[in-house]
Amino acid sequence: MVIRRIALAALPLLALAVPAHAQEDGEAPKRTRLILGPQLAPSWPGADQYSIGPFVDLSRERVGTEFTFEAADESFGAPLIASGKFAFGPAFGFVGKRTAADAGANLPKVGLTIEAGGFAQVSPAPAFRLRAEVRRGLGGHDGFVGEVSADYIARDGDDWLFSIGPRVTLGDGQYQRAYFGVSPAAAATSGLPVHDIDGGIHAVGLTAGYLRQLSSTWGFALYGRYDRLIGDAARSPVVRQLGSRDQPSVGVALSYTFGGDR
């Protein structure tokens, strides 16, 4: 629902500068795919304003093995443990700041937030993946936010890939109050009615993505996501009077594959 990779966009580029370890005898060489382009997404949860940021992904696989599926809207991270159909690893995100001037009312500022946490995912079948993320805000909202997703995946190796699936986003009380709550003090300064809110599900949505290889080196990627705020978040005067329940995002990028024999 928000641009999650801006602060970490440089990490894949830095990874490219790190020399790969020498291949052990008998090991297939690795190839790398870099996806890079712009994406447009709400500037913060509940906003009706949008920000442009980078749409970035970096994948590495051995020659002869297709690139592992990654949804375009998932947080930045890589598996630390991958065993059969299960994987677990860190997840990192980013949420832009919201000031009173940005919101259009004298509400408390929510600072720039780096979110750090982890994910777990399972692929019970090649065409189906379930994933859950939990992240803690470091600065800014300082709360916990999570997402549960499912993806149907259709592909022809690395020539093309299409995915689509639902999303459910939730947060604890601290996260919800930061973006959707209006305290008595904030009501007095902003003119909005008081709105108390606890943790829970605040959005449901759908994401679709498409990857296409045009040659052994070049290709393109695009995705679209739509979230709809629900429950107490949707009833918040911050959303109803200053923002929007509708939270769409879209991204388009070129892909470049190199290393091995592609």
pLDDT at 3 over 60: no
Of 57, 63, 61, 62, whose CA–CA distance to 13 is shortest? 57
> Which CA distances in Å does 83 have to 67, 79, 86, 122?
16, 10, 5, 10
Residue range 10-258, CATH number: 2.40.160
Q: Contact, 88 vs 80, CB < 8 A?
A: yes
- Write the pLDDT tens digit of every residue in 184-214: 999 999 999 999 999 999 999 999 999 999 9
Q: What is the pLDDT of residue 262?
A: 54
Q: What is the pLDDT of residue 20?
A: 42
Burial (CB < 10 A; 0-12, 13-18, 19+), residue 240, is middle
* Residue 4 pLDDT grade (very low, low, confident, very high; cuts 50, 70, 90): very low
Cα 120 from Cα 73, distance rounded (Å): 15
Q: Contact, 219 vs 210, CB < 8 A?
A: no
Degrees to nearest 5, angle at CA 66 with 38 and 31: 70
What is the pTM (predicted TM-score) of this model?
A: 0.87
- Write the pLDDT tens digit of every residue in 6-49: 444 444 444 443 444 444 555 778 999 999 999 999 999 999 99
Q: What is the pLDDT of residue 26?
A: 57
Q: What is the pLDDT of residue 27?
A: 72
Q: What are phi and psi of 10, to 5 degrees?
A: -75, -20
Q: What is the pLDDT of residue 28?
A: 77
pLDDT at 135 over 70: yes
Strand order in 200-213's β-sheet?
Answer: 50-62, 30-42, 246-258, 218-229, 200-213, 160-171, 144-156, 128-138, 113-125, 86-95, 81-83
Q: What is the pLDDT of residue 234?
A: 97
- Dihedral over Cα of 223, 75, 94, 143: its sign: positive
Joined together, the tokens standing for residue 197 give 């809110």
* Residue 66 pLDDT grade (very low, low, confident, very high; cuts 50, 70, 90): very high
Of 55-64, 188-197, 242-251, least confident by mean pLDDT is 55-64
- Report which secondary-structure segment, H or E, holds 77: none
Cα 262 from Cα 75, distance rounded (Å): 26
The ranges assigned to domains in the chain are 10-258
Q: What is the pLDDT of residue 5?
A: 43
- Write the pLDDT tens digit of every residue in 75-133: 999 899 988 899 999 999 999 999 999 999 999 999 999 999 999 999 999 999 999 99
What single-letter amino acid sits at 189? T
